[in-house]
């Protein structure tokens, strides 16, 4: 590949992402992404790891999420502003980049608002596949906003879920979710309370967005054997679960230094025991032990998942074509003569 080729960076915008998802099939995308994330979690020790670099405000947070496996580098820019919904704006928006470590040149630039929804659902599906009781078929979805449909379809495709029980404090959100999933093949029921929705569920997924210490699930709502995905928009000062649930459960996380800042376990002592998800995949730690154990995935989203998502997207763009070509990198004939590029353009504009 020439320097000129590298100067033009494939760019996947929102329209292109939607076309790609529809061409491949949403559920196939979710299943493929789950496998890419699992592949990268299995080689977890190879990656650079750091908690995301965050700029917090009273309205929300803006974060950078970088990582590298030594061959490729990725970062994501993402925000979380719960109040945006009242303005008709997205709570979470994102874009990201994949780059070649050897040259430092970018390989792919992409929207990641849609891609983050896919990778978050795929990560939940991976955790559920690892930790839920075999034969689990019913999921209660507490919080029916922008993430809910992706979460439900990932659990259906990857984990074999057949029944979906919905609750949201906003009935319109539940109606939206039910309408969007009407042709999914899931048996969907809505409930007026979270207590009713979680009753007899095998899996409970919480995905609320309020930036506060809320109690979406109380301890008396959680029966033996349940698997919980706590994946609502996370930040310091934002939780969804009563602390007593954490004390009864075995808690699994992505990267403890980040989860202790932003996840459900921020409520707990700094030495509260957790198991990293990659350790279960590598066989160095135990997952579910028996049918009565309560397992809890305290998912906050980590940079390696975004790396996996961008790697998957790059492969799809290469396989299927597509993606716009951005003239993103200055490419002078002589790498030492950047100024000369401007001079040659000046002469081209004014040949006299």
Vertex 277: Cα angle to 273 and 282 (nearest 5)? 115
Helices (H) and strands (E) in the chain, counts: 12, 17
Weakest mean pLDDT among 44-48, 59-63, 73-77? 59-63
214 or 191, which is more confident? 191
Give dist(CA 319, CA 98) in Å, integer.
Answer: 17
**Per-residue pLDDT tens for 286-336?**
999 999 999 999 999 999 999 999 999 999 999 998 888 998 888 888 889
* pLDDT of 352 strictly over 80: no
Other beta carbons less than 10 A from residue 150's beta carbon: 23
Percent of the chain with pLDDT over 70: 96
Percent of the chain with pLDDT over 90: 80
**Token pair of 343 as six digits:** 């001079």
Contact 78, 280 (CB under 8 A): no
What is the reported pTM? 0.93
Domains annotated on the chain, with CATH: 3-114+305-340 (3.30.1780.10), 127-302 (3.40.50.720)
Query: What stretch of H or E contains 54?
Result: strand 53-56
SS3 label, residue 255: coil
- Buried (b) or exposed (e) across 276-295, using 16+ Cβ within 10 A? bbbebbeeeeebbeeeebbb
What residues does 275 pair with on adjacent strands? 252
pLDDT at res. 213: 65
pLDDT at res. 323: 82
Contact 13, 111 (CB under 8 A): yes
Average pLDDT over residues 269-285: 97
Average pLDDT over residues 50-77: 93
Weakest mean pLDDT among 30-39, 84-93, 178-187? 84-93
* pLDDT of 6 strictly over 70: no
Contact 203, 128 (CB under 8 A): yes
* pLDDT of 1 strictly over 60: no
**Token pair of 64 as six digits:** 């950078």
* pLDDT of 65 strictly over 90: yes
* pLDDT of 162 strictly over 70: yes
* pLDDT of 2 strictly over 80: no
Weakest mean pLDDT among 5-9, 67-71, 184-188? 5-9
**Token pair of 332 as six digits:** 């002078």
Q: Where in the sequence numbering do the catalytic residues fall?
A: 234
């Amino acid at each position: 590949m020439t320097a000129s080729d590298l100067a033009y960076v494939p760019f996947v915008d929102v329209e292109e992402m939607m076309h790609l998802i529809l061409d491949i099939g949403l559920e196939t995308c979710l299943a493929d992404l789950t496998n890419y994330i699992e592949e990268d979690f299995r080689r977890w020790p190879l990656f650079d790891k750091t908690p995301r670099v965050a700029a917090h405000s009273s309205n929300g947070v803006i974060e950078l999420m970088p990582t590298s496996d030594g061959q490729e580098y990725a970062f994501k820019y993402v925000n979380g502003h719960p109040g945006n919904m009242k303005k008709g704006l997205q709570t979470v928006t994102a874009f990201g980049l994949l780059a070649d470590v050897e040259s430092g040149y970018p390989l792919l630039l992409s929207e990641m608002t849609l891609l983050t929804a896919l990778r978050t659902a795929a990560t939940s599906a991976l955790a559920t596949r690892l930790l839920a009781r075999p034969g689990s078929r019913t999921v209660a979805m507490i919080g029916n906003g922008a993430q809910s449909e992706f979460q439900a379809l990932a659990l259906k495709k990857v984990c074999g879920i057949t029944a979906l029980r919905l609750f949201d404090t906003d009935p319109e959100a539940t109606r939206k979710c039910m309408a969007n999933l009407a042709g999914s093949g899931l048996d969907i029921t809505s409930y007026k309370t979270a207590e009713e929705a979680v009753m007899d569920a095998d899996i409970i997924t919480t995905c609320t967005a309020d930036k506060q210490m809320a109690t979406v699930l109380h301890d008396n709502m959680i029966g033996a054997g349940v698997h919980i995905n706590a994946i609502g928009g996370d930040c310091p000062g934002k939780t969804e679960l009563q602390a007593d649930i954490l004390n009864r459960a075995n808690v699994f996380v992505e990267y403890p230094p980040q989860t202790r800042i932003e996840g459900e376990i921020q409520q707990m002592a700094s030495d509260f025991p957790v198991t990293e998800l990659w350790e279960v995949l590598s066989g160095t730690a135990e997952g579910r032990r028996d049918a009565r154990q309560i397992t809890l995935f305290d998912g906050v989203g980590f940079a390696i998942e975004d790396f996996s998502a961008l790697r998957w997207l790059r492969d799809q763009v290469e396989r299927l074509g597509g993606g716009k070509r951005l003239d993103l990198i200055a490419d002078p004939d002589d790498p030492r003569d950047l100024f000369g590029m401007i001079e040659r353009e000046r002469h081209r504009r004014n040949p006299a």
